[in-house]
């Protein structure tokens, strides 16, 4: 009997029976058809075609153009124009490419702009990349980090690039991408957005917001698997002018001409670098099949319903035990909710031991993601009840739950 839930597609995912998965904001689950797709590529293409797979793999489309084909599929989920997105590398590497390209454009057009502006809610890897890129490039470039609520007022004439993550990885707080991009442009700055917690969680409209650059990963809401390839976007109006600091043969205009000097490919293809990792790209390509025919506006509406349902039940059952760390207004957050608890790590380990998988972020946040393709209202209710029992009975107060694993 079909589900009454308008977006629930749990049958497409290989999730263990009885487990409630609230951590797709960190690693999406395995779509059922991905292993068979990988088997075919490994056994039938790599195994039998061998090097001919670069031209004949992927059902005759060739392995070599997977970054562009994947980019086109992801682009449709993030409101990008045709041929403006390529897949590959990690989010961190793509941050370096996007930011270095933006700074090089500004060096030519507005050399007096020397500040990269970001906020303290940004994911640390983005800040590390910006900090070290400014150091390596010199020229007086600097990274300025302000509180999230101070970003708009900090955009002044000295800002070369605004670099933000749309949805805060810790609390789910959401920036207004269109408004902040417009403000950056008014000040002559370029806007770079990290969509790691946005792509696949909610509608994104890069073209409508006139975003300059964007990056994101393939392993969270896109369900591409651990360490799945990331993606990078460059606005078409800029793409033929950009010169990122990281270049390689796959970003060359003629990779197999083997010319000694770099000559960038046209458009976003110049953002490609090295040989694409075909097996992980195929896994992501297969995973994206679950998005065919899905209305992202409906996904967004349902994720808000589920997260509000969870917050209401948790606060009713756990009064005084937890503090909501996410914005109270659901429209001001992404598809995740976080609570504070002084023993947050142990609380989460106790939940995981009972089959409710969320995660922990230091120093005291327990974090829950609401991905309605595979999460039902009944599971949300059950998770809230298990959390309440865990706190009431102090099930977290066990030495086993305090032992910190390397990955938290």
Q: Choosing from 89, 126, 194, 285, which is the catalytic residue?
A: 194
Question: Is residue 123 among the annotated active site residues?
Answer: yes
Q: Choosing from 126, 231, 367, 374, which is the catalytic residue?
A: 367
Number of other residues whose CB lies within 10 A of the CB of residue 274:
14
Question: Is residue 219 among the annotated active site residues?
Answer: yes
The residue written with tokens 């749309």 in the block is 166
Could you tell me the two tokens for 161?
């690039």
Q: Cα separation of 353 and 396, whole Å?
A: 10
Confirm if 22 and 375 have CB atoms less than 8 A apart.
Answer: yes
Question: Is residue 65 among the annotated active site residues?
Answer: no
Q: What is the DSSP string of 107-139?
A: HHH-TT--EEEEETTS-HHHHHHHHHHHHHH-T
Q: Cα separation of 226 and 231, whole Å?
A: 15
Q: Choosing from 73, 97, 113, 220, which is the catalytic residue?
A: 220
Q: Cα separation of 338 and 325, whole Å?
A: 5
Q: Choosing from 219, 310, 339, 370, which is the catalytic residue?
A: 219
Q: What is the DSSP string of 218-264?
A: SSSTT---TT---EEEE-HHHHTT---S---GGGBSSGGG--SS--B
Q: Choosing from 5, 13, 73, 123, which is the catalytic residue?
A: 123
**Which CA distances in Å does 278 have to 45, 166, 285?**
11, 29, 10
The residues annotated as belonging to the active site are 123, 194, 219-220, 367
């Amino acid at each position: 009997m079909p589900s009454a839930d308008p977006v629930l597609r749990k049958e497409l995912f290989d999730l263990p029976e009885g487990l409630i998965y609230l951590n797709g904001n960190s690693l999406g689950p395995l779509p059922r058809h991905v292993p068979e797709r990988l088997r075919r590529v490994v056994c039938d293409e790599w195994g039998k075609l061998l090097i001919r797979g670069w031209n004949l793999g992927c059902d005759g489309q060739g392995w070599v153009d997977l970054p562009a084909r994947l980019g086109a599929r992801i682009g449709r989920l993030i409101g990008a124009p045709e041929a403006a997105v390529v897949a590959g590398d990690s989010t961190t590497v793509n941050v370096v490419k996007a930011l270095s390209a933006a700074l090089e454009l500004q060096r030519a057009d507005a050399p007096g702009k020397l500040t990269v502006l970001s906020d303290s809610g940004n994911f640390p890897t983005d800040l590390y990349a910006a900090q070290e890129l400014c150091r390596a490039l010199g020229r007086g470039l600097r990274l300025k980090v302000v509180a999230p609520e101070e970003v708009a007022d900090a955009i002044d004439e000295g800002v070369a690039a605004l670099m933000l993550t749309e949805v805060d990885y810790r609390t789910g707080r959401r920036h207004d991408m269109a408004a902040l991009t417009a403000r950056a442009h008014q000040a002559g700055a370029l806007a770079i957005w990290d969509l790691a917690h946005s792509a696949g969680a909610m509608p994104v409209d890069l073209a409508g917001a006139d975003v300059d650059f964007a990056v994101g990963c393939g392993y969270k809401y896109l369900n591409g698997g651990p360490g799945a390839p990331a993606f990078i976007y460059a606005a078409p109006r800029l793409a033929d002018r950009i010169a990122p600091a990281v270049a390689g043969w796959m970003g060359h205009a003629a990779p197999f001409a083997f010319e000694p000097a770099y000559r960038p490919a046209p458009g976003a293809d110049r953002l490609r670098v090295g040989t694409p990792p075909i097996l992980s790209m195929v896994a992501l390509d297969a995973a994206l099949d679950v998005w065919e025919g899905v209305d992202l506006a409906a996904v967004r509406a349902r994720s808000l319903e589920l997260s509000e349902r969870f917050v209401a039940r948790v606060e009713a059952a756990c009064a005084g035990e937890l503090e909501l760390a996410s914005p109270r207004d659901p429209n001001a957050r992404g598809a995740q909710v976080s609570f504070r608890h002084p023993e947050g790590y142990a609380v989460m380990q106790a939940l995981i031991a009972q089959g409710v998988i969320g995660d922990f972020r230091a120093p005291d946040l327990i974090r829950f993601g609401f991905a309605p393709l595979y999460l039902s209202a009944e599971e949300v209710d059950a998770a809230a009840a298990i959390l309440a029992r865990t706190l009431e009975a102090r099930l977290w107060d066990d030495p086993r739950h305090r032992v910190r694993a390397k990955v938290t």
